[in-house]
A and B are shown apart, each in its own frame.
Chain A
Amino acid sequence: SQKIEQNSEALNIQEGKTATLTCNYTNYSPAYLQWYRQDPGRGPVFLLLIRENEKEKRKERLKVTFDTTLKQSLFHITASQPADSATYLCALPPGGSNYKLTFGKGTLLTVNP
């Protein structure tokens, strides 16, 4: 089965800097990969989806890359703000289904003012 590793449990950065979060997966390459934001005691909120044939995707201050050779996705937040503090989850479809999602444990990002 697919295994997802978000190798930083927590990341602290200074306001204005760029936050970079990593998501690695094992086994086969998924058709797409998604990133979600989760605040404490809340359900996840969708941020970005990147497909296997896309190298990079941007949305405002967010950028996602997808390297199927390295089996890795990087999630960047530029000009970070304290309001960006949250847990960020990487998700991708497990084997045998493009409809379900398997989630990583997430990285808790704290942006200090």
Chain B
Amino acid sequence: GAVVSQHPSWVICKSGTSVKIECRSLDFQATTMFWYRQFPKQSLMLMATSNEGSKATYEQGVEKDKFLINHASLTLSTLTVTSAHPEDSSFYICSARGQGRLNTEAFFGQGTRLTVV
């Protein structure tokens, strides 16, 4: 149990276009979802925290108008990278936490490799 599915696993897009990444909790209700970005050989950097039905909370330095997060249901959160540029190329990973026993650890999706050309 406690599976998080992220889609797509990789995407290549042209500079200036927008890309949407989906994160789904398949067998539990994710009360909170987190979005991270990871550059090569670097740590996971938290971008934002989202709770179902409310606005996401962004970390300092993360542009909320560029990285749009929607958490419309307890099983789905989306991250849209708007007007993507080559410097946005990175590995984006979502994680989800549930309630009770599922609150102890974070369950991660498999990540999305974004390449902006």
A-to-B contact residues, CB < 8 Å: 4, 9, 34, 36, 41-46, 49, 89, 91, 99-106
Interface contacts (Cβ under 8 Å), in number, total 50
A41 adjacent to B43 (CB under 8 Å):
no
B108 adjacent to A43 (CB under 8 Å):
yes
A99 adjacent to B97 (CB under 8 Å):
yes
Checking B6, B32, B43 against A105 with a beta-carbon cut-off of 8 angstroms, the contacting residue is: B43
B107 adjacent to A46 (CB under 8 Å):
yes
A-B contact pairs, 9 of them (CB 8 A): A43-B95, A43-B110, A100-B34, A100-B46, A101-B34, A101-B106, A103-B43, A104-B43, A106-B43
> Separation in Å of the A110 CB from the closest CB of chain B?
15
B interface, over-half SS: strand
B-to-A contact residues, CB < 8 Å: 4, 6, 32, 34, 41-44, 46, 49, 91, 93, 95, 97, 104-111, 113
Most interface-central of A34, A36, A46, A91 (chain B CB within 10 A):
A46
> Separation in Å of the A4 CB from the closest CB of chain B?
8
A89 adjacent to B44 (CB under 8 Å):
yes
A77 to B32, CA, bound (A): 31
Checking B46, B110, B113 against A101 with a beta-carbon cut-off of 8 angstroms, the contacting residue is: B46
A4 to B4, CA, bound (A): 26
A20 to B36, CA, bound (A): 27
Checking A9, A44, A99, A102 against B108 with a beta-carbon cut-off of 8 angstroms, the contacting residue is: A44
